[in-house]
Amino acid sequence: MAAPRLPAAELVDYQGWRRPRPAPVTVVQIPDTAALVCELCRQFYALGWVSGTGGGISIRGDEGIFVAPSGVQKERIVPADVFVLDKHVLDRPVITRAAADTSLRLSECQPLFWNAYRLRDAGAVLHSHSLWPVLAARLAAPSGRGVLRLHGFEMLKGLRGKGNTEVVEFPIIANTPHEAELTESMVSAMSEHNDVDAVIVAGHGLYVWGRSWIEAKTQAECIDWLARAVVEYHRAGVWAAATGEVR
């Protein structure tokens, strides 16, 4: 016997699929922060930062910490897909509102995001799979551990507390089979480099945060620009990994 068909009004176009309408979520239950997470995911997808379902974003709002779901097409998520977690509990994830679609999972980046909320009082944390920091880190530290040293770039001004005459070092940590296994090495890198708000994961991507989502996004854009500059300057034969300078 054919499966009973739901009336069209009960179906919803959800990430390209016609599915039963999820449990109703009112406008009151979808704070603007969830919509902002979705908007930023679309922007970051366009930049190549969250392609192939990778990467992620979280923002601390009045109602809690808003986190994009794991392993989905980030550019297609809607506010009801965003998880909300207790912003006062930073030693483990406490979900206060799960995604309306129960097949969605909390981001695997959550323990890494929580490092920045717990240790740096961050207002937002991004995880980018952009190619530029991956390439720049490979040039700076072929072993997969070390620092990406930068000097002589105007865009350094976009980093918290930095000027364009400073030497800035971003820590590079080795990748692991699972995202959560990066947690401890990220903590060590953060304590050794507490003057910067980002950690690069070799062959993988970048975690970057800020006191607000605007500062996190600004710093993410500046680091991406700087990493791309390193790659292009290296290609031109004028970047020195030892000093981070343009020759």
Selecting among 154, 181, 184, 192, the annotated active-site residue is 154
Q: Token digits for 90?
A: 């930073």
Q: What DSSP assignment string belongs to 185-237?
A: HHHHHHHHTTTSSEEEETTTEEEEEESSHHHHHHHHHHHHHHHHHHHHHHHTT
Q: Token digits for 93?
A: 């994830």
How many whole angstroms separate alpha carbon 18 and alpha carbon 234?
A: 48
Residue 154 annotated as catalytic: yes
Question: Which run of H or of E encompasses 107?
Answer: none
Beta-carbon contacts of 186 under 8 Å, excluding residues fewer than 6 positions away, are: 112, 115, 173, 199, 207
Please count the CA atoms within 13 angstroms of the CA of 90 that sit on its side-chain side: 15
* Active centre residues (catalytic): 154
